[in-house]
């Protein structure tokens, strides 16, 4: 005994020496690539990249984006100095087309493909393979039970196993009967392959969503346009007030459809006390043409009910009033005539008005003021709008003359007028006072600068135009992803084994066991259902046997009972 202890004490030395002499193999460039690919295509990496993509999209909502608001981005950089320039170099004003966002997007795409393809191949092989072999001891399975078919039932072991196979096939199991050439035939059954199919559909659909979003970002476009009653929009680049193209957009993608605003109606609440005058319905009557040679079609454009033309969706997003004015210059010529869009500023459609007249002679003219659909005047002489309806429309303006700054080619906001370099003609501080016009009235400007007439009021609408070639496919893949996720969550992968044997007195002994792959809280209910199928088919009285009976058939087909202290021998007839 002491010599064995001495040997054990001496043995660590050679082992330690062998470990010291051992050297790890060099991975090499090919091995490094294989290792990197394995790490990239793991599900853990795919989930991490998906989370990283969501985090990377956050700056797109924190900072103005150049594709949608280029003027805001320019002003932001100007106001923030070096800080704004650093943000611009980091591409935080072009998040969704930045190099780092695209890198995460592409890596996620590759990772998902690398996860899905091997799993799909492995699952295909599993579906083509036979169910696993029958375990030697079914009593060790989570769900186990036994049945005894009386000798006078005339059901030998082979017939019993074939009968059980037919019942399991009807229940959706893939069954293989194993005849070992002896008196103990068995079967293996498996179902629930749809669980992994749903999982693969879910991940494949995520890839489809990524591809669809990429297609929309590359070849889609969006734009805005304001339409006054009677105006027509033709789908060309010059027809947009604002246009945001995709990365690979080509002007040839624009289909030359047209849409004309015939009439716009707003229904106001005239009954509720707390919401009196609130708009409750918008209705735009439009005339559309799919192409210049196509017939006209009358349609209705409503909120959340877009009109679809040429693969684009046209949404109703805003509305307001457009006073119709006629402006004559100092020579008596018409310098401007038509509706002017009034920008909503407050309740009851209180709207600001800016009119720029660069064609007036001898001096360019500018007007700034507000439009009131239903004008009221307080005791202090302050005008306000008392109702959104056109009950007492009024146009109140201040006028200016001078260089409007439109001839130098610099872009300007049509709803703003810089009056710093202009000379005022009318306002409350001057002797001439301000301009107040009712429909049908005309005001002559001081110093022979011309006149302005208020001819009437029209309505206008703002429309958003979106073309996203990947929108439909993204919706389809999203629905498939949800369906696949539901299937993978609610379908369980289960295996059933049944073994039969003949007792020495002629009884047919049946034992069965069930096993689930993963968590399955309904496995016990499935075992009860399988047991009921067998008992009903063989017309057995199940009162004397229960589920989870701790017994099994021994190698001779006899019924052995497992006791708390061990396994007893074959039982005899009671």
Q: Could you tell me the CA-to-CA distances from 17 to 6, 20, 21, 51, 136 in Å, in that order?
A: 18, 5, 6, 47, 44
Q: Could you tell me the CA-to-CA distances from 155 to 107, 164, 176, 184 in Å, in that order?
A: 61, 12, 20, 14
One-letter-per-residue 3-state SS of 515-534: EECCCCCCHHHHHHHHHHHH
User: 357 pairs with which residues across the strands?
Assistant: 365
Nearest to 366 by CA among 274, 286, 449: 449
> What is the pLDDT, as a whole number, of residue 153?
84
Domain spans, the chain? 30-126, 130-192+492-570, 197-220+470-487, 221-467
Which distant-in-sequence residues (6+ apart) come within 8 Å of 371 by Cβ? 321, 323, 342, 350, 351, 352, 353, 393, 394, 395, 396
> What is the pLDDT, as a whole number, of residue 410?
75
| Domain 130-192+492-570 = CATH 3.30.160.110 | yes
> What is the pLDDT, as a whole number, of residue 13?
63
- Compute the distance between CA of residue 516 and CA of residue 522 in angstroms, rounded to an integer: 10
Per-residue pLDDT tens listing for the chain (574 residues):
445 444 455 555 666 666 666 666 677 888 888 888 888 888 889 889 989 999 999 998 899 888 777 778 888 888 888 888 999 999 999 898 889 998 998 999 899 898 899 999 999 998 888 888 999 899 999 999 999 999 888 888 889 999 999 999 999 999 999 886 666 899 999 999 999 999 999 999 989 998 998 898 889 999 999 999 999 999 999 999 988 888 888 888 898 999 999 999 999 988 877 777 888 899 999 999 999 899 999 999 999 899 999 889 999 998 999 999 999 999 999 999 999 999 999 889 999 999 999 999 999 999 999 999 999 988 887 889 999 999 999 999 999 999 998 887 777 888 999 999 899 999 988 988 999 999 999 999 999 999 999 999 999 999 999 999 999 999 999 999 999 999 999 999 999 999 999 888 889 999 999 999 888 899 999 999 999 999 999 988 765 454 444 444 444 444 443 333 333 333 333 3
């Amino acid at each position: 005994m002491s010599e064995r202890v001495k040997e054990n004490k001496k043995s660590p030395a050679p082992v330690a020496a062998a470990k010291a002499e051992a050297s790890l193999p060099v991975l090499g460039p090919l091995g490094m690539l294989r290792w990197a690919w394995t790490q990239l295509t793991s599900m853990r990496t795919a989930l991490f990249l998906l989370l990283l993509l969501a985090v990377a999209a956050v700056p797109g909502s924190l900072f103005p984006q150049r594709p949608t608001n280029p003027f805001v981005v320019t002003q932001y950089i100007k106001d923030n100095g070096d800080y704004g320039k650093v943000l611009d170099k980091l591409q935080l004003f072009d998040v969704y087309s930045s190099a780092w966002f695209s890198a995460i997007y592409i890596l996620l795409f590759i990772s998902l493909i690398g996860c899905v393809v091997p799993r799909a191949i492995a699952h295909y092989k599993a579906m083509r393979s036979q169910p696993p072999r029958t375990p030697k001891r079914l009593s060790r399975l989570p769900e186990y039970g036994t049945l005894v078919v009386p000798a006078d039932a005339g059901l030998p072991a082979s017939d019993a196993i074939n009968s059980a196979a037919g019942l399991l096939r009807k229940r959706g199991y893939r069954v293989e009967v194993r005849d070992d050439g002896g008196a103990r035939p068995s079967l293996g059954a498996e179902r629930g392959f749809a669980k992994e199919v749903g999982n693969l559909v879910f991940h494949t659909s995520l890839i489809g969503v990524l591809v669809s979003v990429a297609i929309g970002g590359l070849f889609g476009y969006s734009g805005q346009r304001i339409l006054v009653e009677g105006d027509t929009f033709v789908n060309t680049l010059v027809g947009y007030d604002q246009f945001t193209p995709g990365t690979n957009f080509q002007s040839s993608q624009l289909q030359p459809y047209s849409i004309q605003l015939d009439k716009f109606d707003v229904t106001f609440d005239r009954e509720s006390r707390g919401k009196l005058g609130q708009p409750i319905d918008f209705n735009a009557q439009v005339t559309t043409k799919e192409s210049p040679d196509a017939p006209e079609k009358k349609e209705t454009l409503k909120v959340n009910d877009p009109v679809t033309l040429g693969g684009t969706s046209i949404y109703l997003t805003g509305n307001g009033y457009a006073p119709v004015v006629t402006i004559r210059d100092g020579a008596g010529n018409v310098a401007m005539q038509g509706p002017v869009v009034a920008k909503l500023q407050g309740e009851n459609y209180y709207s600001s008005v800016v009119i720029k007249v660069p064609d007036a002679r001898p001096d360019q003219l500018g007007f700034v003021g507000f439009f009131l659909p239903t004008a009221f005047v307080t005791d202090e002489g302050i005008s306000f709008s008392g109702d959104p309806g056109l009950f007492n429309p009024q146009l109140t303006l201040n006028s200016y003359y001078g260089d409007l700054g439109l001839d130098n080619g610099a872009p300007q906001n049509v709803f703003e007028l810089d009056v710093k370099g202009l000379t005022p003609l009318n306002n409350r501080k001057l002797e001439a006072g301000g301009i107040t016009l009712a429909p049908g009235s005309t005001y002559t400007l001081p110093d022979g600068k011309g006149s302005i007439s208020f001819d009437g009021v029209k309505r206008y609408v703002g429309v958003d135009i979106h073309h996203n070639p990947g929108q439909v496919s993204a919706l389809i893949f999203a629905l498939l992803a949800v369906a696949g996720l539901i299937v993978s969550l609610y379908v369980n992968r289960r295996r059933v084994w049944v073994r039969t044997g003949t007792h020495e007195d002629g009884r047919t002994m049946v034992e069965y066991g069930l096993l689930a792959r993963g968590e399955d809280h309904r496995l016990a209910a499935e075992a009860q259902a399988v047991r009921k199928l067998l008992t009903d088919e063989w017309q057995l009285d199940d009162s004397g046997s229960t589920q989870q009976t701790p017994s099994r058939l021994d190698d001779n087909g006899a019924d052995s009972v497992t006791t708390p202290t061990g396994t007893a021998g074959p039982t005899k007839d009671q």
